[in-house]
Each structure stands twice: as C-alpha cells, then as structure tokens.
Amino acid sequence: MSKKTFRESINEAIKQEMRRDENVIVLGEDVAGGAGTKGDQDAWGGPMAVTKGLAPEFGRERVIDTPITESAIIGTAAGAALTGLRPIADLMFVDFMGVCFDQIFNQAGKFRYMFGGKAVTPLTIRTMYGGGLRAASQHSQCLYPIFTHIPGLKVVIPSNPYDAKGLFVQAVRDDDPVVFFEHKMMYDDEGEVPDELYTIPFGEANFTREGKDVTLISMGRTVNLCNQVADEIKKDNISCSVLDLRTLSPLDEDSILEAVDETGRVVIVDESYPRCNVATDISALISDKAFSSLKAPIKMITPPHTPVPFSPALEDLYLPSADNIKKTISNILN
Amino acid sequence: MQLNREELIKAYQGMCRIREFEDAVHEEFASGALPGFVHLYAGEEASAMGICLNLNDQDTIASTHRGHGHCIAKGCDSKGMMKELFGKKDGICGGKGGSMHIADLTKGMLGANGIVGGGPPLTCGAALTFKTKKTGNVAVCFLGDGASNQGTTAESINMASILKLPAIFVVEDNGYAEATSSDYSVGGNIVDRGKAYGLHAEKVDGTDFFAVHQAAKEAVERAKNNEGPTLLHVKLSRVYGHYEGDAITYRLDEETKDIRDNKDPIKIFKRKVTESGLLEESQLEEIEKNIKKEIEDAVSASKEAKYPVESDLLTDVYVKY
C-alpha cells in the first residue's frame, strides 16, 4: 500500500493487466504520442499522461497511436474485442463520443443480444468527463446518463484512487463493454492504493460516510464534495450518509433503498445536465420503491439546463457547490 | 479458371442457395408471413461466393443490411437463418437479431449490420486481432456504394492502411443506395478513394464469379503476405428493390429486365462452366433441385418452429450483470 494519485492508480492498473494478459492492448489518439516523429516515442501518454510509460514497456504493437478518427478507434476496439483481444480504447474527452456513438451503442453494446447471446465483447473505453478546467462546452460535459441509458453497456465512475484501480481492473477483466469515466479534475487526487492487483465488483455502491439525518447520493468527483459537506456539517449536529454509486450500470438499487430507509431524506448530487440524468433516475426509483420511507421531498442538485460555460465566473456558478448542498440539506431538515 | 471441379460445384451450390433463399423470402414476405424489414441479395451472389470461397472459418466477414448472401457464403446454416427471419427461438440468433443482425461467430461471420457503414471499423478490429496474435487470418468487410460515402469507411480504410492490417474492403456497388443512384451519390470514383489512402484498389465485374474469385484470391494473398489492405469495387446489380415492399419506381422496367436477362451471375456462371465443359448441365440441374428442396424445407421448418417465450426476453444482454 502506498499513496498514489488517481492518474497513477489507473496507469498501474493498465500496466499490471497488460503484464498479466497479453490480449490486453491500448489504442487511441496519442496514448503514447510521437508516432512517426523523430522525437520522444512516449511523448504524451495521453493528454493527461495516464498511459505514460506503456509504449516503452509493451511496444507500439500493443500501445497503438491512432489517427484522430473516433469511429475507427471505437469500432476497431469493438471488433478486436469480438474476435479475441481485450482492448482498452482511449476516447480522450467524452464530448467526442458524438462522432463515434454508433460504434458504441449500436455495435459493441448490442452484439451479445442481437447475436442471441453468442458474442463476448470485453471492451473498456476510457474517457474524461466533467467541468472545472475552463474547457468550455465541448470539453466539459458529463454525458454518463446517455451511456447508462443503453442496455448492453456498463458504466463505471470512480470517485477516488483506490476505487479507480479496483474498478479499472474489473473493467478490463469484464466480458461486457464498459465505459470508464475519469473526471479531468481528479487526476492529481491522492489516496492509499495497494500495489498488488485487486478488483472491485460492479453494482456495489459504497457508503463513504455513515449518518442518520440525511443521505447524499452521488458519483465520481461530486462524491468528494458530498464527503466534504458531510464532514463540515457535523459541527451543526447534522449526521449525513454519503453513498458513492461507483457504477451507474449496473446500479446498486438495494444500497440506495437501504439508505432511504435509514434517513428518509435524500439529496442527489449529479454534475450532469439536469434532464434525464442519474439524479432523476434515482429519484424515480426511490419514489417508486421507497415512497413511504420518505420524510421530505427528494432533492436533486445539478447544473442548470445549459451547455457548460467557459468563463470561470460562470462555470463556478454552473457546477454543484458545497454551499448549495448545505442549503438544500438545511431546507429539508426544517 | 484454376478452380477444380469440387470448388466449382461448391460455388454453384452457394450461389443457388442464396438465390433460392432470397426468392423464398421474397414470396414469404409478400404473403405476410415474415415480420420486419428484409433486404434481398439476389443478383449479387457472385460477389459473396467469389470472396468467401477464399476464406476459412477463422477468417472473418462483416456484412450489411443486405446480408443473407454473405451469411450463406460464409457457411451459416440456411435453416437457422430462415428461422431467425421468422423470429423463432431456434433461429441462428434466438430470434433476437432478425434479418439485419444474423451472425455466427463460429463461422467467422461477425454480423449483418443495420447501420450503413457500421462494418468497416469492426473489420479493422478483427484484422487487428489477427495482426496482434499473428494468426495469418484475413478480415473482410462487405459494404455498399451507400456506405462508401460514410465517414466510418474513410476512417477505417485509413486506419487499415496506416496499421497495415490484413483487411479487405469489398464495396458492392449495385447502383443504388436505397432509391438514389450511385452515379449521383458517389463523388469521384470508389477505386480512386481506395488508392488515395494507399490501398491496392481495383474494379471487379461482380456478375462474373471468376473475376471476383481471382481478385479476392490476390487480395487474401496480399493480406497474408503483410502487404496491406485491399479495396475491391465490385460492380453488380440487385434483382429486387432496396427492401421488400419497395415498388422500385426509380428504376425503369427495361433496366430490371436487363438485370434479369444479362447480368444474372448464376446464369453467367452456368453458361461458362457448361460451355467450357467443366461441369455438365445435368449436374447443375441436380444441384438446383436439391437446393430448392433444402430451402423449401427451411421455410416449412421455420413456420412450424416455436417462438421465443417471455423468459427469453431478459437474457443475453450482458455476460454478467
């Protein structure tokens, strides 16, 4: 066990899986960087250096720099998965999914069903999401609800370095296509991460805080915001649970319902657009299956229904904040 | 003609099986017995058979919405396919795929595809597997003139070129993307597009089984010798419309007559092999009779077969969930 960043934990997971299984390959734009140049042949390791060091160790046959052609990247990875490899495709920014979505949701996600259960598609797609980097409307979206919507895909969204490694290893070993969401503001977050390989099963949410007054439900980066709020409002004698969903598909419905049963008050914090997102989905689940346990209306904290703004002044207003969560908790307790 | 007798018989059987299958589907659809959309391959048989007779079960093909011919040529069971079209439980995909999603991975058939241009990227993937694992296999992509205009095709041909993948892109140009002529929709020409990306590319007469077979043979050799991907622009005609139910008002009657009379690859093949004395007419007629019976049996078995039941609805979405 040692302290590692979110970036290091994913890098280590990929390296260790590539050493363990020669069918694991990595492909994407600049996953190594420098292809065809006279310069550094591991120039980038992806835009956030998550795959740095892979090309020197495993060679370019297994760490493949591709042209900027997202449909071909995802389709190549899907076809390779269908025929015996275990590819990790790097889609860089989730915003770019728009130009390759068919290969994910009509092809990879549906092979198994359309082919009557005969196909196995062990594909992992890594992608960055989320605001905070002043990257504006086409490089800051969350979009995980769209993938959660598609039967046949699994959606994973870790909130810390420990979970990132365990969930990533599970994603690589998983026999279904997985979209793995990494918040671009989290790569330098640190945590204790075992050096050895381990997996965290999908569909098992994690209570990061235990409390009896209110439950905060969240995913990815905003889990940390919820943890922060839970810790800060202890001084006001408010006891807050935080449930980290870890995976959106499969969804751990039992833990959600258990949490509602314990506190009767729920605030869902979701950085994605407010319509048809994870918050509305969970809210519907609770209304349907645990209505009688509720002591207050379910509250959803999300950005407004607008694209992600560029200006720091606007983006700070746009993103869910600790203050907003605290005010909401205060409202439903009174 | 370097094919031996056995191979010629196999080619004729395959082409007849495709034609009989499609003619039967045409009739059953018209009678209302078949649900869904079907797109028939009749008239294009020389392409599927000419290509696939150069492949083994480990080589893969990706197909199109007009995929029945490719499936049969790659060795999928015609009865299982027919049952699939009828939506029956023991169809080749359990009744969950239907006409546009027939696949048999044990035969290297990676699926018909409801998305125009869906197959080329997947073909790069299969070819990447073969390259990475050094299996010496080839991945073939069938696509149409319509798909030749899709961005996915351009991306995939480029990807195959730069990674030197053992891939073959077979553009079956039947003259029409749905109801729009390829003369109108294809800018420049398809062979030049392949060449522009550094592929070996050539135009092939798709009514001539022997021409397709020879071009495919060379393409497979190039792929296996690590000489990179090939694009074949196979010019052919479809007998029926884009889909069953298409009144084909965009095509003049004389063109359809010309296709049936002069561009039928089965007739052309039959004439060639009988005139050159490679096969006897009586032999071919025997094949026709047997295939006709096989497909009639497939239809009646499909009609009698059972539908999937409620418990089948939720299965096969994930390996584990």
> What's the CATH code of the domain at A310?
3.40.50.920
Domains of chain B in start order, with CATH, are 5-306 (3.40.50.970)
pTM of the model: 0.96
Closest Cα in chain B to A77: B125
CATH code, domain with A62 = 3.40.50.970
- Structural domain including A32 reads 2-193
Whether residue A222 lies inside any domain: the answer is: yes
| B contact residues 115-174, partner A, Cβ 8 Å cutoff | 115, 118, 120-130, 132-133, 139, 151-152, 155-156, 158-159, 162-163
Q: Test A118 with B103 for CB contact under 8 angstroms.
A: yes
Q: B113 contacts in A (CB within 8 Å)?
A: 107
- What value of ipTM does the predicted structure carry? 0.94
Q: Are residues A105 and A170 in the same domain?
A: yes
Whether residue A201 lies inside any domain: the answer is: no
Q: Are residues A258 and A188 in the same domain?
A: no
Phi, psi of B146 (to 5 degrees): -60, -50
| A contact residues 272-331, partner B, Cβ 8 Å cutoff | none
Whether residue A200 lies inside any domain: the answer is: no
Provide the pLDDT for residue A334. Answer: 86
Share of chain B above pLDDT 70, in %: 100
Confidence of residue A1 (pLDDT cuts 50, 70, 90): confident
Of A66, A81, A118, the CB nearest to B159: A66
Q: Are residues A177 and A243 in the same domain?
A: no
Q: Rounded mean pLDDT of chain B?
A: 97
Provide the pLDDT for residue A216. Answer: 98
Q: B87 contacts in A (CB within 8 Å)?
A: none
Q: Are residues A215 and A162 in the same domain?
A: no
Q: Are residues A13 and A158 in the same domain?
A: yes
A118-176 tens-digit pLDDT: 999 999 999 999 999 999 999 999 999 999 999 999 999 999 999 999 999 999 999 99
Q: Are residues A27 and A168 in the same domain?
A: yes
Q: Are residues A186 and A271 in the same domain?
A: no
> What is the token pair recorded at B250?
């965009």
- Given a cut of 70, whether residue B1 has pLDDT beyond it is no
Q: Are residues A54 and A142 in the same domain?
A: yes
Q: Are residues A159 and A19 in the same domain?
A: yes
Q: Are residues A35 and A175 in the same domain?
A: yes
A252-290 tens-digit pLDDT: 999 999 999 999 999 999 999 999 999 999 999 999 999
Whether residue A106 lies inside any domain: the answer is: yes
- Given a cut of 80, whether residue B313 has pLDDT beyond it is yes
End of a domain among A193, A228, A244? A193
- What is the domain count for chain A? 2
Q: Which residues contact B238 (CB under 8 A, 6 or more apart)?
A: B40, B41, B42, B43, B44, B66, B174, B175, B176, B259
Q: Are residues A138 and A254 in the same domain?
A: no
B157-166 tens-digit pLDDT: 999 999 999 9
End of a domain among A193, A228, A248? A193
Provide the pLDDT for residue B2. Answer: 79
Q: Are residues A46 and A143 in the same domain?
A: yes
End of a domain among A193, A223, A243? A193
Whether residue A300 lies inside any domain: the answer is: yes
Whether residue A210 lies inside any domain: the answer is: yes
Q: Looking at the annotation, which residues of A are catalytic?
A: 139
Share of chain A above pLDDT 90, in %: 99
